[in-house]
Amino acid sequence: MPLPEPHDIQRLILRGYRERPVTSYLLMRVTDAAAARTWIGRLAEATAEANRLADEDARQLDAHLARAPALIGTAHPAWRREDNDRVRGLRLMLAFTHRGLERLGLPAQVLETFIPEFRQGMTAPHRSRVLGDVGSEAPENWRWGSDDSPVDMLCAVFAGSHGELESTRLDATLGLRGAGLEVFERIGARLSFTEPFGFADGLSQPRIEGAGTARVAPMTRWDNSLPAGEFLLGHRNAYEQLPVSPYALQEPPGPGVLPRVPGQRDRWDFGRNGSFIAMRQLSQDVEGFRRFTEGQARRDLGDRAGGASEQTLRDAEERVGARMVGRWRSGTPLELAPEWDDPTHRTENDFAYAKEDREGARCPIGAHVRRSNPRDSRTDEAIGVTPEVAMERVNHHRILRRSRVYPAKPGEDGETGIVFLAYNTNLERQFEFVQQSWSPNAHVDALPDARDPMLPGAEGADNTMTVQRQTLATRMRGLSEFVKMRGGAYFFMPGLRALAHLAGIS
Ligand code: HEM
């Protein structure tokens, strides 16, 4: 069944704005709550008008879209044809930290009903431990998001050209002057099908049931479809329950009338059609990664004297990188092509591990994609865990990624990396679980001293990775300092009605 209220959903979660490849992430603090609410309200109103026209008058919708310099994109089906049109206007995604919602004036009663992870924030000491944000990666060393540099609001802007995002022009287009918002950090980024180390990214995403976004072929080896409630509040999740959603105890007046919480007479749903975002700005040491793969390739070849031919060395280097990621640079899964890249499989996502690769001889158990989504790896028929059961368990810990690469233009400044956005409705069970239990876990499937080679590693840690082979397992040492935390926060991305409600608070 299609999602019942597409017009209420901020579009980014369902579709990645491919037609608007240039991005600016504006990190903001509220300086004047009333002015900021007015600014949010204007955007919400213009967007609601577009939704209304989409329902009633398609020709007028086109005129409205052409006139509006910036709108919050929604998943309304009528907006889809925009994707193929000449790109016009900016599209925004607005999201708030708990602190931001408080500063905007959301009543304490509503604030208290948010899940604890979001209330406490990404940098609460025990959450830092869970996420591995310790030592050199601790929040006090971040550029933004720590207590010294808190963030209230994220405005992600998607554009067709770089010129539109030039800061003076952008601020004028968005009407930010006098809007009661201070932009304290701008991260320019771009859509890229490869991440900075050179690997195809964004290939494996869960399919949200009812979202109608799947142009992909049906899966035969695993089930990649998940109930909408894993990613959108107000919908049934993988436990066939409604996820915990923030609510108001008083019927809100004004334009942003919230829906009732199903089955509850005195609760109004602030969370419906919203989602939580784990945002992490991760810088990548591309040269360090290249040096490591070359050094490891020479070790694998036993080439101390440097006598291997250029081609042999390059091939071995590619193999090292592929084993760290679990896919070749082209995107081809190691599971389908363990020794040599076979680009005919480059966008393939229909693969699982239990049947042919329990021991990790094709794709190492510690490779990034296998750690982040073990699929049916944990099958154990002896205790009744069939591949289907293993898969179902893993599907309780999925995230939907919407990452972009920074800087906005390749080679623009010294640093490069990804702005990682993971959507989920239960930060603890989904994003934090992946980051705590699978990615950095030294003991995942009895791998000694290992952690995810693609995630930040505290300096000085003995970061190794075991590469299982048919004959003899080998170990890579000195990994994991190629990725560094630059900033992060947990955000709540409200539905359109909740945004209008927030704007209408007085
Ligand atoms: C700089 C840091 C990172 C890099 C370079 C990176 C790179 C990649 C690449 C190349 C893929 C394979 C292509 C694909 O399936 O989309 C991938 C997949 C994935 N990554 Fe990352 N990633 C990074 C950080 C993270 C983080 C922080 C998480 C979450 C904790 C994460 C979770 C995932 C997941 C869930 C998949 C899909 C696995 C699957 O379903 O097979 N990644 N990543």
Residues 464-492: pLDDT tens digits? 788 887 667 777 877 767 999 999 999 99
| Whole-Å CA distances, 310 to 178, 198, 317, 340, 342 | 59, 19, 10, 17, 21
**Is residue 159 in some structural domain?**
yes
Residue of the nearest CA to atom 30 in ligand 1? 435
Distance 472 CA to ligand 1 centre (A): 27
Instruction: Put residue 160 in one of left, alpha, beta given phi > 0 → left and psi -120 to 50 → alpha.
Output: alpha
Answer whether the bond into residue 255 is a cis peptide, omega within 30°: no
**Which of 270, 285, 314 minimizes the C-alpha distance to 104?**
270
DSSP state of 242: P
Same domain, 260 and 334: no
Instruction: Please give the number of the atom of ligand 1 that sits closest to the Cα of 327.
Output: 12
Q: How far is CA 448 from CA 320, 433, 445, 481, in A?
A: 19, 20, 9, 18
Closest C-alpha residue for ligand 1 atom 26: 455
Residue of 192, 370, 372, 481 to mutate, ligand 1, most atoms within 8 A of C-beta:
372
Closest C-alpha residue for ligand 1 atom 34: 372
> In the prediction, which pLDDT does 455 show?
81
Residues 6 or more apart in contact with residue 447 via CB below 8 angstroms: 365, 366, 465, 466
Check: CB of residue 285 under 8 Å from CB of residue 484: yes
Mutate to test the pocket of ligand 1, among 357, 420, 486 (most ligand atoms within 8 A of CB): 420
Ligand 1 atom closest to residue 435's alpha carbon, by position in its atom list: 30
The Cα–Cα gap between 362 and 380 comes to: 19
Residues 499 and 460 in one domain: no
Token readout for 158 is 């998607």
- Parent domain of 380: 284-401+436-487
pLDDT reported for residue 449: 57
Compute the distance from residue 31 Cα to the ligand 1 centre, in Å.
36
Give the pocket of ligand 1 (CB within 6 Å). Answer: 195, 197, 199-204, 280, 282, 284, 325, 327, 368-369, 372-373, 399, 418, 420, 434-435, 439, 454-455, 483
Quote the ligand 1 centre to 368 CA distance (angstroms): 7
Judge if 81 and 11 occupy the same domain. yes
CA distances to 57, 81, 154 from 54, rounded to whole Å, are 6, 11, 27
Does one domain contain both 271 and 362? no
The dihedral over CA atoms of 477, 198, 136, 480, expressed in degrees to the nearest 10, equals -20
CA of 374 to the centre of ligand 1 (A): 12
Same domain, 356 and 451: yes
Residue nearest to atom 6 of ligand 1 (CA): 454
Predicted TM-score of the model (pTM) = 0.96
- Rounded to an integer, what distance in angstroms lies between the CA atom of residue 30 and that of residue 472? 58
Question: What is the model's pLDDT at position 425?
Answer: 98
357 and 320 part of one domain: yes
CA of 97 to the centre of ligand 1 (A): 24
How many CB atoms are closer than 10 A to CB 337? 20
Inter-axis angle of helices 286-301 and 310-325, to 10 degrees? 110
Q: How far apart are CA 345 and CA 330, in angstroms?
A: 9
Residues 154 and 291 in one domain: no
Residue 387 and residue 275 share a domain = no
In a 13 Å sphere around the CA of 101, the CA atoms on its Cβ side amount to 29
Asked if residue 368 is part of any domain, the answer here is: yes
Residues paired with 475 in a beta bridge: 466
- What's the pLDDT score for residue 305? 72
- Nearest of 149, 153, 145, 154 to residue 121 by alpha carbon: 145
Q: Are residues 265 and 296 in the same domain?
A: no
Chain centre distance of CA 373: 14
pLDDT of residue 85: 58
Do 353 and 476 fall within a single domain?
Answer: yes
Has residue 415 been placed in a domain?
A: no
Asked if 84 and 189 sit in the same domain, the reply is yes
Q: If you take atom 12 of ligand 1, which residue's CA is the nearest one?
A: 201
What distance in Å separates the CA atoms of residue 478 and residue 315, rounded to the nearest whole number? 21
* 14 is a domain residue: yes
Span from the CA of 68 to the centroid of ligand 1 (angstroms): 35
From 503, 490, 491, select the one nearest 105 (Cα to Cα).
503
Q: Provide the domain count of the chain.
A: 2
Considering the domain boundaries, does residue 393 fall inside one? yes
DSSP 3-state of 310: helix
- The single-letter code of the amino acid at 345 is H
* Long-range Cβ pairs for the range 201-204 (8 Å, 24+): 201/403, 201/418, 202/16, 202/401, 202/403, 203/327, 203/331, 203/347, 203/349, 204/349, 204/369, 204/373
Instruction: Determine the distance separating the centroid of ligand 1 and the alpha carbon of 264, expressed in angstroms.
Output: 39
The reply to whether 341 and 445 lie within a common domain is yes
| Ligand 1 midpoint to CA 475 (Å) | 22
Around 171, how many Cα atoms within 13 Å sit in the side-chain half-sphere?
13
Which residue owns the Cα nearest ligand 1 atom 35? 372
CA distances (Å), origin 243, targets 121, 231, 256, 443: 19, 9, 22, 30
Q: Does residue 229 lie within any of the structural domains?
A: no
Please indicate, yes or no, if residue 209 is contained in any of the structural domains: no
Query: Which positions of the chain have pLDDT values less than 50?
Result: none
Query: Does 126 map to a domain?
Result: yes
